[in-house]
């Protein structure tokens, strides 16, 4: 499938909110997220960011039993205008207002979503807003987090969630940004396809845990970055040992040479990173794997982007 020409990649400033205080009270989760978006937008005394990111499942506790309780109907159809004021989703309204107030692009983490056409179907969904507050993109987690590591962690999103079926990205005046959610990063095909469709960066609202975080969090981001010669970032919630799920934290940004540009600890924190397109271009010029692929040798992989 071909896509339109991406925008020219220009320098931009990214702010990632490693959000804390995710409680059972959705209203207070939303209020806290909004307050932190305002704080991130101020640049905390430095340059204002262009794009702000929240973590996975920021308006609800993370766990399959919680998804049906917290799910909201969004009713977004790609390519069609969406009237935020008429939205049934409180979270969409709050995120839209926060993006508009702050005058920034906003990747609104993820929330449990109820399908507008089939109320039995729930998704783990990321929404994206322009600085005018328009809802411009939506990604439903494609690969559900179903794992079982005996004695360590068992988690089954598919108990209540359905996987998304599309690869999603959005254009800004400074870059084309691809979207994934957490476990999606384990699937190189999704990142590869997004990169081949012109994404300069892929951003994953995420929530790894204390078992897989130390093993694979950094490795996967560096792998996807170097495979595809793009910027990669995962934004985690802060760790809360009183919650049912213990998030790894360590919100991170990696450049196309697989260099870690920034990493948070595990407390609530905002990290800022200046994204430099020169690194993207020099990685691709110096090690031109993006133009050296041998689709004749691996015909199982389509040569079409």
Residues contributing to the site for ligand LYUYDEPV (CB under 6 A)? 56, 145, 182-183, 186, 207-209, 212, 216
Residue 286 Cβ vs ligand LYUYDEPV, minimum distance, rounded to whole Å = 31
Tokens of 215: 């093993």
In DSSP terms, 276 is beta-bridged to: none
Residue numbers annotated as active site? 56, 141, 182
Among all residues, whose Cβ is closest to ligand LYUYDEPV?
212
* 156, burial (CB in 10 Å: exposed 0-12, middle 13-18, buried 19+): middle
Residue 196 Cβ vs ligand LYUYDEPV, minimum distance, rounded to whole Å = 23
> In 3D, which of 253, 252, 232, 244 has the Cα closest to residue 190?
232
Count the residues in the chain.
305
Cβ 217 vs Cβ 185: under 8 Å: no
> In 3D, which of 228, 266, 274, 262 has the Cα closest to residue 250?
266
Alpha carbon distances (Å) from 81 to 46, 76, 134, 302 = 35, 8, 9, 32
For ligand LYUYDEPV, the closer CB: 13 or 222: 222
Residue 126 Cβ vs ligand LYUYDEPV, minimum distance, rounded to whole Å = 12
Rg of the Cα atoms in the chain: 18
Alpha-carbon torsion angle 82, 56, 61, 65, nearest 10: 80
For ligand LYUYDEPV, the closer CB: 91 or 209: 209
Residue 92 Cβ vs ligand LYUYDEPV, minimum distance, rounded to whole Å = 21
Instruction: Look up tokens 């056409």; give the residue.
Output: 117
For ligand LYUYDEPV, the closer CB: 75 or 163: 163
Buried b (16+ CB within 10 A) or exposed e, 16-47: bbbbbbbeeebeebbebbbebbeebbeeeeee
* 83, burial (CB in 10 Å: exposed 0-12, middle 13-18, buried 19+): exposed
For ligand LYUYDEPV, the closer CB: 98 or 203: 203
For ligand LYUYDEPV, the closer CB: 197 or 216: 216
Residue 256 Cβ vs ligand LYUYDEPV, minimum distance, rounded to whole Å = 22
Residue 147 Cβ vs ligand LYUYDEPV, minimum distance, rounded to whole Å = 7
Tokens of 101: 């107030």
For ligand LYUYDEPV, the closer CB: 53 or 104: 53
For ligand LYUYDEPV, the closer CB: 219 or 301: 219
Residue 93 Cβ vs ligand LYUYDEPV, minimum distance, rounded to whole Å = 25
Alpha carbon distances (Å) from 103 to 115, 121, 124, 131 = 29, 33, 26, 4
């Amino acid at each position: 499938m071909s896509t339109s020409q991406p925008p020219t990649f220009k320098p931009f400033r990214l702010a990632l909110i490693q959000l804390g205080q995710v409680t059972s009270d959705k209203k207070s989760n939303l209020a806290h997220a909004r307050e932190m978006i305002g704080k991130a937008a101020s640049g905390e005394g430095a340059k204002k960011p262009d794009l702000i990111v929240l973590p996975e499942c920021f308006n609800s506790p993370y766990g399959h039993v919680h998804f049906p309780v917290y799910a909201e109907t969004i009713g977004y159809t790609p390519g069609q205008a969406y009237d935020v004021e008429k939205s049934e989703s409180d979270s969409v309204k709050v995120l839209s207002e926060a993006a508009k107030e702050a005058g920034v692009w906003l990747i609104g983490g993820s929330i449990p979503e109820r399908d507008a056409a089939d109320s039995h179907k729930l998704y783990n969904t990321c929404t994206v807003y322009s600085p005018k507050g328009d809802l411009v993109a939506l990604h439903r987690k494609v690969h559900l987090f179903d794992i079982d590591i005996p004695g360590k962690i068992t988690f089954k999103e598919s108990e209540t969630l359905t996987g998304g079926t599309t690869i999603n990205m959005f254009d800004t005046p400074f870059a084309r940004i691809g979207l994934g959610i957490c476990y999606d990063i384990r699937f190189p095909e999704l990142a590869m396809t997004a990169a081949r469709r012109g994404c300069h960066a892929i951003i994953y609202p995420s929530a790894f845990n204390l078992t897989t975080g130390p093993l694979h969090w950094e490795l996967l981001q560096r792998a996807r970055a170097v495979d595809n010669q793009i910027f990669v970032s995962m934004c985690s919630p802060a760790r809360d040992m009183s919650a049912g799920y213990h998030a790894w934290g360590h919100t991170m940004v990696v450049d196309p040479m697989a260099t870690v540009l920034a990493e948070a600890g595990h407390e609530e924190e905002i990290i800022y990173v200046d994204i430099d397109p020169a690194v993207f271009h020099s990685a691709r010029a110096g090690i031109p794997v993006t133009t050296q692929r041998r689709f004749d040798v691996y015909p199982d992989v389509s040569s079409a982007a």
